[in-house]
């Protein structure tokens, strides 16, 4: 009987194409990822059928969390420093360069100006704790700091659009108050940030 010869095959495969593809994907994801600084509050946005995307740049964002606390955010480091300078001038405060730099790289801030210095000097962990305990930017008519923030931001960056990022369970009086402050600043057009209906909940960075 003739012996059947089994062809000897090397067990190693050529993985080059797969590896090439993997690295291509790595490059793609590395270049497209934008790391956001930690948001101090978790906001569960309501959903809507509106599909207008939020512009990447040039948005002054006011966050209202479910307890009605108000936070303020603008992107752009130089712009943030300019705004902080304006606020410092108005409240007769001085911030040193280190504090300004710290402010420039933070995300939303929800501190009354009286606590701002302590907030910027605090360590990262302490800052997280302060974010949990803060009452947000004051919006009462007697102590309307949000008004000054918006005013400063509009002065520094007049072309920026305004957006309100509210939590589903935020109470109407706070929202109305924020809208009214925007109107006081002659900002009558603004956007409400929502999720696309059926798109599920966008993951928020957890603190």
Partner 1 sequence: MAQVQEQEGGQEKGKHKKVRAKRSSTHIDMTPMVDLGFLLLTFFILTTTFSKPKTMDITMPVKDKVTEEEKTKVPASQTMSVLLTADDKIVWYMGEDDPTKPPETHVADFSQDGPASIRKVLLEKNKLVFDKVKQVEDSVRNGLIPDKEDEIKRHKAQVKAAEKKGLIVLIKPDDSSKYKNLVDILDEMLVCNVARYAIVDLSDSEKELIKNSQQ
Q: Give the footprint of partner 1 on this chain (CB under 8 A).
A: 15, 19, 22-23, 25-26, 29-30, 32-33, 45-54, 64, 163, 165-173, 175-176, 179-180, 182-184, 186, 188-197, 199, 202-203
Cβ proximity to partner 1, 84 vs 110, nearer residue: 110
Q: Are 81 and 72 in contact (CB under 8 A)?
A: no
Q: Which of 143, 139, 142 minimizes the C-alpha distance to 173?
A: 139
Residue closest to 195 by CA, chosen among 84, 87, 75, 51: 51
Task: Tell me how far, at minimum, the Cβ of 104 lies from partner 1, in Å.
Answer: 23
Residues 6 or more apart in contact with residue 202 via CB below 8 angstroms: 45, 195
Q: Which helix (H) or strand (E) holds 30?
A: helix 16-32
Closest approach of partner 1 to the CB of residue 164, in Å: 9
Cα dist. 81→86, 112, 114, 155, 196 in Å? 9, 17, 18, 13, 33
**Which residue number, 89 or 204, has a Cβ lying nearer to partner 1?**
204
Minimal distance in Å, beta carbon 3 to partner 1? 33
Q: Whole-number minimum distance, CB 153 to partner 1, in Å?
A: 18
- Which lies closer to partner 1 via its Cβ, residue 23 or residue 91? 23
């Amino acid at each position: 009987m003739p012996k059947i010869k089994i062809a000897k095959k090397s067990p190693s495969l050529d993985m080059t194409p797969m590896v090439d593809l993997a690295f291509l994907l790595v490059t793609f994801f590395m270049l497209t990822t934008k790391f956001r600084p930690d948001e101090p509050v978790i906001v569960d946005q309501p959903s809507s059928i509106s599909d207008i995307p939020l512009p990447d740049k040039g948005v002054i964002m006011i966050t209202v969390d479910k307890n009605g606390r108000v936070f303020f955010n603008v992107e752009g480091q130089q712009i943030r420093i300019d705004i902080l300078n304006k606020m410092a001038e108005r409240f007769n405060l001085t911030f040193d360069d280190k504090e300004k730099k710290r402010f420039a790289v933070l995300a939303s801030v929800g501190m009354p100006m009286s606590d701002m210095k302590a907030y910027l000097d605090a360590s990262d962990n302490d800052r997280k704790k302060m974010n949990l305990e803060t009452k947000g930017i004051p919006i009462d008519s007697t102590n309307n700091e949000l008004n000054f923030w918006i005013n400063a931001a509009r002065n520094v960056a007049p072309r920026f659009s305004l957006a309100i990022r509210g939590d589903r369970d935020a109470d109407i009086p706070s929202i109305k108050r924020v809208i009214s402050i925007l109107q006081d600043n002659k900002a009558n057009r603004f956007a409400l940030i929502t999720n696309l209906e059926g798109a599920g909940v966008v993951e928020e960075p957890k603190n």
